[in-house]
């Protein structure tokens, strides 16, 4: 561990990298029909979750100016000498947005985990702990074997 | 001198961290997306570090001084954009495997023309966003150190292009993550110090807005850019030799480079076409542009532009590609919302203090420099100088971090999308692009940074936002639809800007919709895309291409899952290729339509 990182490539790779790059002919993305139902389920759950998160965000971001416009009297009300309407555009949106963000993140990850559990659970009938172990092992398998993205990579 | 001592470490550390990234750099992917190995927390710090530009560090407080409390809606829009990104774009975009937005457009829709158009849009956004960064770097350095404007611009250009040309995205990631922490500390600590040091009188004044009508002490104002002032009767200036003399009432053309000292207690001249800080309406928490009487429309227009624009900013999207997978990209977006929310609690403090302590900046139009001008007003001793130095260092870090990311996408658009080439060409493109931006920034000293940045957001909102949202969530999008939608968004926004700069004097809601065109250009782009796509037919593989974006990476290997989950009903284990025929895919996806 000297900390210094050295490029280790074969002479061919170095030549290929130095050369002008040609992109191959473009090929359409393929999707294995066996994975299609899962993709459709994920697409649908993702869409409904995104719509509800965006509705909450829109209500907050467009509703708050409307409320402040509707009740100009809020400028006169003071808490600890600061007008309520001034505090409202700093102290309300930011905590609310952090809440919405983590709520959306949790739901999205839960949806993917549920599908993954469903996949692993059907064949074995194993208990939940084993499921998680299996999931985790596949997770690490994927991570070590590359970015796990086989088809999309070819398009770039 | 102390300011030079503050800026030098920022520059040096940036270069040093940049050099760390050089050794492991071999391919275009290394250069553009740090080989996709950046953890969510580091990445979200880098995203925030890159995103907190001069517009956030200095601009928001300056806008509060100039336009009023309503300017605090800008940061709300900046942050809200990441929630939209989290919900709609982050994970599918990362799963597309594309390196840049033009790459994504080609992978999803298979059109080389769309790729080139998207690359042009990246260049437009990059220039609109980079020029004000370099301009503010030059301006802030000239305000605090008395160096000429061009020195700061050239210095910023040199440091950014050197770091990037050597280290690429890997270097940029570490630099930006470091600079986020740096900026956060350098923003919060001086804010607290200012609040405590300012004393109870200033604090009370800060929350009791009153119009800036009389100078409260002898005030020296330096006009770097010429201005036209309306001088009221009784205004006095103090000449260095002759002592006080009264100004002639009426219009006064101040030539650039003049230094004027206004006497204590005399009335304040007015700037043509600008509202005075603290005037009626300043305290309203809405954005009433030019007092046209449509505060709600103005506020919503800014929110639409900043929120949807964030989703389409190419340098932010590029950052999500450095995540190892879609899940990490999503986490990055959520963490970013939290980090930005902490930072954006503070610009308001600088803004309200700035209105009390440095309202005269509005005479020169340099309210941008309110943040760095504040410490000297509160404490004229060493402490004030030290805090000025710290804030300048933070501001400089802000330009560097943002410019790094932007320059990267601009050179990526040139050298990866328009004229594909290897790593050496990419490095040359970085240096070339930086040189062009420096040349563009040199005559741009008079431009308002906030305006240019908001225009960048508006272009992104009306081009890339519809392209990404429909590309990811609507399977009927066609290449022709995407092309015409992006073109419609680009042409309408640029036309609106030109009309605003060179066109006739407009009033009422029309003026607001010309200056802030997002409320109509974004729907226009969406509608064009949908209508033109409906007229044509999507390619047979379009549904598969869209669904592929939603499939998560950490699924089971296809060979295991088939035998387990599908049982004996379908034996796909031998050869998957017949089943991958597009006809089979179509048969299964037909279900979606029902």
Q: Is the pLDDT of residue B518 over 70?
A: yes
Q: Is the pLDDT of residue B486 over 90?
A: yes
> Would you call B331 and A50 a contact, using CB atoms and an 8 Å cutoff?
no
Residues of B in contact with A105 (CB under 8 A): 86, 330-331, 333-334
Choice between B537 and B208, residue whose per-residue pLDDT is larger: B537
> Would you call B300 and A62 a contact, using CB atoms and an 8 Å cutoff?
yes
Report the C-alpha gap between B179 and B176 in whole angstroms: 5
pLDDT for position A103 = 92
- Does residue A52 belong to any structural domain of this protein? yes
Which of B73-87, B291-305, B420-434, B449-463 is least confident? B420-434
> Would you call B79 and A17 a contact, using CB atoms and an 8 Å cutoff?
no
pLDDT for position B564 = 43
In sequence order, the β-bridge partners of residue B231 are B250
Structure confidence by residue, pLDDT tens digits, A36-89: 888 888 888 888 888 999 999 999 888 888 888 887 776 777 777 777 778 888
Which of A80-89, B130-139, B244-253, B355-364 is least confident? B244-253
Residue of A nearest to B561 (CA): A119
- Domain B2-204+318-445's class? mainly alpha
Angle (CA) B104-B105-B108 rounded to 5° is 80
- Does residue A26 belong to any structural domain of this protein? no
Quick one: how many helices (H) and strands (E) in chain B?
Answer: 25, 7
The first and second tokens of residue B182, run together, are 């740096």
| Mean of pLDDT values over B549-578 | 49
Asked whether B493 and B514 are in contact (CB, 8 A), the reply is no
CA atoms within 13 A on the CB side of B458: 28
Minimal Cβ distance to B551: which of A23, A35, A90: A35
| Mean of pLDDT values over B301-321 | 86
Angstrom CA distances, A52 to A15, A58, A107, B528, stand at: 51, 10, 11, 25
pLDDT band per the 50, 70, 90 thresholds, residue B542: confident
Q: For B384-389, which contacts have Cβ atoms below 8 Å and span 24 or more sequence positions? A: B385/B2, B386/B2, B387/B190, B387/B193, B387/B194, B388/B2, B388/B3, B388/B144, B389/B2, B389/B3, B389/B5, B389/B6
Asked if the C-beta of B196 comes within 8 angstroms of chain A's C-beta atoms, the answer is: no
Choice between B563 and B309, residue whose per-residue pLDDT is larger: B309
How many of the other CB atoms lie within 10 Å of CB of B494? 18
> Would you call B97 and A89 a contact, using CB atoms and an 8 Å cutoff?
no
Choice between A142 and B320, residue whose per-residue pLDDT is larger: B320
Domains of chain B, by residue range, sit at 2-204+318-445, 219-271
Size of interface A-B (CB pairs under 8 A): 272
- From the centroid of its chain, how far is CA B216? 36
pLDDT band per the 50, 70, 90 thresholds, residue A138: very low
**Average pLDDT over chain B, rounded to an integer:** 77
- Does residue A5 belong to any structural domain of this protein? no
| Mean of pLDDT values over B498-523 | 82
Residues of B in contact with A72 (CB under 8 A): 284
Chain A stretch 26-55, residues whose beta carbon is closer than 8 A to a beta carbon of chain B? 26, 28-40, 42-43, 46-47, 49-50, 53-54
pLDDT for position B402 = 82
Q: Residue A133: give the domain boundaries.
A: 37-142
Structure confidence by residue, pLDDT tens digits, B412-430: 788 777 776 666 777 788 8
> Would you call B107 and A156 a contact, using CB atoms and an 8 Å cutoff?
yes
Choice between B289 and A153, residue whose per-residue pLDDT is larger: B289
Show Cβ contacts of residue B222 under 8 Å, excluding neighbours closer than 6 positions: B258, B259, B364
- Does residue A156 belong to any structural domain of this protein? no
- Does residue A41 belong to any structural domain of this protein? yes
| Mean of pLDDT values over B370-398 | 78
* DSSP one-letter code for A75: G
> Would you call A39 and B110 a contact, using CB atoms and an 8 Å cutoff?
no
Number of domains in chain A: 1
pLDDT band per the 50, 70, 90 thresholds, residue B37: low
pLDDT band per the 50, 70, 90 thresholds, residue B272: low
- Does residue A12 belong to any structural domain of this protein? no
Residues of A in contact with B99 (CB under 8 A): 156
Distance from the Cα of B42 to chain A's closest Cα (Å) equals: 18
pLDDT band per the 50, 70, 90 thresholds, residue B565: very low
pLDDT for position B32 = 60
- Does residue A7 belong to any structural domain of this protein? no
> Would you call B23 and A124 a contact, using CB atoms and an 8 Å cutoff?
no
Q: Is the pLDDT of residue B184 over 50?
A: yes
Choice between A86 and A150, residue whose per-residue pLDDT is larger: A86
Q: How much of chain B, in percent, has pLDDT values that exceed 90?
A: 9
Report the C-alpha gap between B476 and A142 in whole angstroms: 32
Asked if the C-beta of A82 comes within 8 angstroms of chain B's C-beta atoms, the answer is: yes
pLDDT band per the 50, 70, 90 thresholds, residue B165: confident
Output b/e per residue, B516-537; b: 16+ Cβ within 10 A: bbbbbbbebbbebbbebbeeee
Distance from the Cα of A65 to chain B's closest Cα (Å) equals: 7
| Mean of pLDDT values over B145-174 | 75
Show Cβ contacts of residue B81 under 8 Å, excluding neighbours closer than 6 positions: B306, B307, B308, B309, B310, B311
pLDDT for position B104 = 84
pLDDT for position B527 = 94
- What size, in residues, is chain A? 156
For the beta sheet containing B243-246, the strands, ordered from the edge strand earlier in sequence to the opposite edge, are B219-223, B258-262, B236-239, B243-246
> Would you call B207 and A21 a contact, using CB atoms and an 8 Å cutoff?
no
pLDDT band per the 50, 70, 90 thresholds, residue A137: very low
Report the C-alpha gap between A42 and B551 in whole angstroms: 7
Choice between A47 and B318, residue whose per-residue pLDDT is larger: A47
| Mean of pLDDT values over B114-142 | 85
Q: Is the pLDDT of residue B484 over 90?
A: yes
Chain A stretch 94-123, residues whose beta carbon is closer than 8 A to a beta carbon of chain B? 94-95, 97-98, 100-102, 104-105, 108-109, 112, 115-116, 119-120, 122-123
- Backbone φ and ψ for B200, nearest 5 degrees, come out as -65, -35
Asked whether B299 and B72 are in contact (CB, 8 A), the reply is no
Q: Is the pLDDT of residue B279 over 60?
A: yes
> Would you call A104 and B83 a contact, using CB atoms and an 8 Å cutoff?
yes
Minimal Cβ distance to A98: which of B108, B338, B585: B338
Asked whether B440 and B153 are in contact (CB, 8 A), the reply is no
Q: Is the pLDDT of residue B525 over 90?
A: yes
Asked if the C-beta of A137 comes within 8 angstroms of chain B's C-beta atoms, the answer is: no
- From the centroid of its chain, how far is CA B494? 18
Choice between B527 and B321, residue whose per-residue pLDDT is larger: B527
- Does residue A154 belong to any structural domain of this protein? no
Report the C-alpha gap between A6 and A39 in whole angstroms: 40
Asked whether B263 and B238 are in contact (CB, 8 A), the reply is yes
- CA dihedral of B433, B322, B136, B397, whole degrees rounded to 10: -120
Choice between A145 and B15, residue whose per-residue pLDDT is larger: B15
Choice between B227 and B535, residue whose per-residue pLDDT is larger: B535
Q: How much of chain B, in percent, has pLDDT values that exceed 70?
A: 75
pLDDT for position B243 = 67
Report the C-alpha gap between B419 and B473 in whole angstroms: 30
pLDDT for position A123 = 41
Q: Is the pLDDT of residue B526 over 90?
A: yes
Both ends of chain A: CA-CA distance in Å? 34
Q: Is the pLDDT of residue B492 over 90?
A: yes
Residues of B in contact with A33 (CB under 8 A): 572, 579-580, 584-585, 588
Asked if the C-beta of A151 comes within 8 angstroms of chain B's C-beta atoms, the answer is: yes
> Would you call A18 and B422 a contact, using CB atoms and an 8 Å cutoff?
yes
Structure confidence by residue, pLDDT tens digits, A97-128: 999 999 999 988 888 888 777 766 544 333 33
Residue A21: closest CA among B360, B415, B362:
B415
Which of B93-107, B306-320, B579-593 is least confident? B579-593
pLDDT band per the 50, 70, 90 thresholds, residue B378: confident
- From the centroid of its chain, how far is CA A133? 23
pLDDT for position B483 = 92
Structure confidence by residue, pLDDT tens digits, B332-374: 889 989 988 988 888 888 888 888 877 777 777 677 777 777 7
Distance from the Cα of A129 to chain B's closest Cα (Å) equals: 17
Residues of A in contact with B82 (CB under 8 A): 101
Q: Is the pLDDT of residue B197 over 60?
A: yes
Which of A57-71, B217-231, B320-334, B434-448 is least confident? B217-231
Q: Is the pLDDT of residue B574 over 60?
A: no
| Predicted interface score ipTM higher than 0.90 | no
């Amino acid at each position: 561990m000297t900390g210094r990182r050295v490029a280790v490539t074969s002479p061919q790779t170095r030549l290929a990298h130095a050369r002008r790059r040609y992109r191959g002919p473009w090929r359409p993305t393929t999707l294995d029909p066996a994975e299609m139902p899962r993709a459709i389920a994920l697409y649908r759950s993702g869409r409904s979750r995104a719509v509800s998160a965006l509705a909450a965000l829109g209500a907050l971001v467009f509703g708050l100016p409307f409320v402040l416009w509707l009740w100009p009297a809020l400028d006169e009300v003071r808490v600890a000498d600061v007008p309520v309407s001034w505090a409202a555009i700093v102290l309300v949106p930011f905590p609310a947005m952090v809440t919405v963000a983590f709520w959306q993140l949790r739901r999205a990850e839960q949806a993917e985990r549920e599908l993954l559990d469903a996949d692993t659970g059907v064949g074995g009938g194993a208990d939940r702990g084993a499921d998680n172990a299996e999931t985790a092992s596949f997770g690490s398998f994927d991570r070590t074997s590359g970015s796990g993205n086989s088809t999309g990579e070819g398009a770039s | 001198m102390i300011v030079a001592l503050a800026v030098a470490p920022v520059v040096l550390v940036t270069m040093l961290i940049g050099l760390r990234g050089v050794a492991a750099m071999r391919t275009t992917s290394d250069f553009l997306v740090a080989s996709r190995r950046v953890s969510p927390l580091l990445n979200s710090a880098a995203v925030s570090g890159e995103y907190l530009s001069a517009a956030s560090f200095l601009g928001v407080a300056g806008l509060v001084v100039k336009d009023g409390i309503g300017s605090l809606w800008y940061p709300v829009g900046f942050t809200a954009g990441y929630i939209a990104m989290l919900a709609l774009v982050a994970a599918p975009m990362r799963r597309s495997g594309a390196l840049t937005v033009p790459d994504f457009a080609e992978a999803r829709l298979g059109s080389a023309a769309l790729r080139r158009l998207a690359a042009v849009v990246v260049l437009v956004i990059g220039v609109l966003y980079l020029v004000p960064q370099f301009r503010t770097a030059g301006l802030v350095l000239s305000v605090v150190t008395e160096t000429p404007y061009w020195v700061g611009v050239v210095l910023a250009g040199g440091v950014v292009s050197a770091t990037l040309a050597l280290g690429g995205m890997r270097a940029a990631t570490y630099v930006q993550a470091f600079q986020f922490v740096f900026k956060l500390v350098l923003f919060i600590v001086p804010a607290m110090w200012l609040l405590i040091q300012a004393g109870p009188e200033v604090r009370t004044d800060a929350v009791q807005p009153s119009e800036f009508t009389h100078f409260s002490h002898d005030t020296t104002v330096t006009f770097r850019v010429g201005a036209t002032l309306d001088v009221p009767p009784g205004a006095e200036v103090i000449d260095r030799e002759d002592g006080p003399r009264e100004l002639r009432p009426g219009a006064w053309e101040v030539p650039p480079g003049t230094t004027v000292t206004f006497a204590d207690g005399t009335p304040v001249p007015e700037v043509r076409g600008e509202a005075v800080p603290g005037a009626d309406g300043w305290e309203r928490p809405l954005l009433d542009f030019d007092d046209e009487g449509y505060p709600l429309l103005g506020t919503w227009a800014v929110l639409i532009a900043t929120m949807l624009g964030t989703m389409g900013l190419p340098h932010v999207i590029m950052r999500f590609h450095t995540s190892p997978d879609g899940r990490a990209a999503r986490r990055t977006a959520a963490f970013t919302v939290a980090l930005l929310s902490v930072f954006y609690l503070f610009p308001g403090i600088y803004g309200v203090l700035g209105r009390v302590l440095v309202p005269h900046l509005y005479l020169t139009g340099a309210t941008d420099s309110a943040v760095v001008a504040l410490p000297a007003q509160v404490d004229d001793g060493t402490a004030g100088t030290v805090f000025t130095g710290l804030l300048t260092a933070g501001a400089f870090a802000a330009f560097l971090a943002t410019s790094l990311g932007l320059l990267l996408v601009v050179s990526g658009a040139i050298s990866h999308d328009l004229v594909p080439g290897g790593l050496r060409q990419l490095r040359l493109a970085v240096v070339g692009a930086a040189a062009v931006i420096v040349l563009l920034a040199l005559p741009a000293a008079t431009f308002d940074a906030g305006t240019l940045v908001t225009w960048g957001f508006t272009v992104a909102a009306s081009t890339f936002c519809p392209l990404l949202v429909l590309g990811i969530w609507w399977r009927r999008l066609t290449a022709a639809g995407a092309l015409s939608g992006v073109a419609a968004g680009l042409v309408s926004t640029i036309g609106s800007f030109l009309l605003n700069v060179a066109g006739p004097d407009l009033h009422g809601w029309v003026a607001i919709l010309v200056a802030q065109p997002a409320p109509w250009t974004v729907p226009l782009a969406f509608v064009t895309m949908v209508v033109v796509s409906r007229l044509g037919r999507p390619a047979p593989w379009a549904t598969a291409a869209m669904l592929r974006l939603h499939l998560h990476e950490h699924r089971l290997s296809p060979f295991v899952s088939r035998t387990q989950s599908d049982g004996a009903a379908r034996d796909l284990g031998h050869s998957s290729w017949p089943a991958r025929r597009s006809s089979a895919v179509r048969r299964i996806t037909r279900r979606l339509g029902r």
